Amino acid sequence: MRNGYLFSGHPTLQDPAHVPEEFDDPLDHKALAFQYVKETYGLLLDMHDKFAESNQAMEKRYSEYSLGIKFPKYIFKTKRTKKCRGS
């Protein structure tokens, strides 16, 4: 049972290898954040206070993510949905 879960690829495992190129699931964001914390915490314990390599990896991953974002058209509409009092 344990191995079935470990090799299932379920997002709650927080495995960054299973995060697709374009993602919108909060668990995918958490998987990337967990990887970052895991890498930088070890460096912090080793008395390093700069995480240039880890920061660059996260910036690269999220820049690739942001290129694939397609915003729904309704986000940019400014039309009122309810009438204001007195108008």
Comparing 10 with 50, the larger pLDDT belongs to 50
Tell me if residue 71 falls in helix, strand or coil: coil
The model's pTM: 0.61
Q: Is residue 30 part of a domain?
A: yes
30: phi > 0 → left, psi -120 to 50 → alpha, else beta; which? alpha
Query: Where in the sequence is the domain holding 31, given as residue range(s)?
Result: 21-69
- The number of folded domains in the chain is 1
- Residue environment code for 5-32, b if the CB has 16+ CB neighbours within 10 A, otherwise e: eeeeeebeebeeeebeeebeeeebeebb
Please, are residues 36 and 56 in contact by the beta-carbon 8 Å criterion?
Answer: no
Q: Is residue 16 part of a domain?
A: no
Q: Is the pLDDT of residue 80 over 60?
A: no
Q: Is residue 46 part of a domain?
A: yes
Q: Is residue 39 part of a domain?
A: yes
Q: Is residue 4 part of a domain?
A: no
Question: Which pLDDT does position 48 carry in this prediction?
Answer: 87
- Average of per-residue pLDDT across 28-51: 89
Q: Is residue 28 part of a domain?
A: yes
Q: Is residue 57 part of a domain?
A: yes
**Residue 43: how many CB atoms within 10 A of its CB?**
14
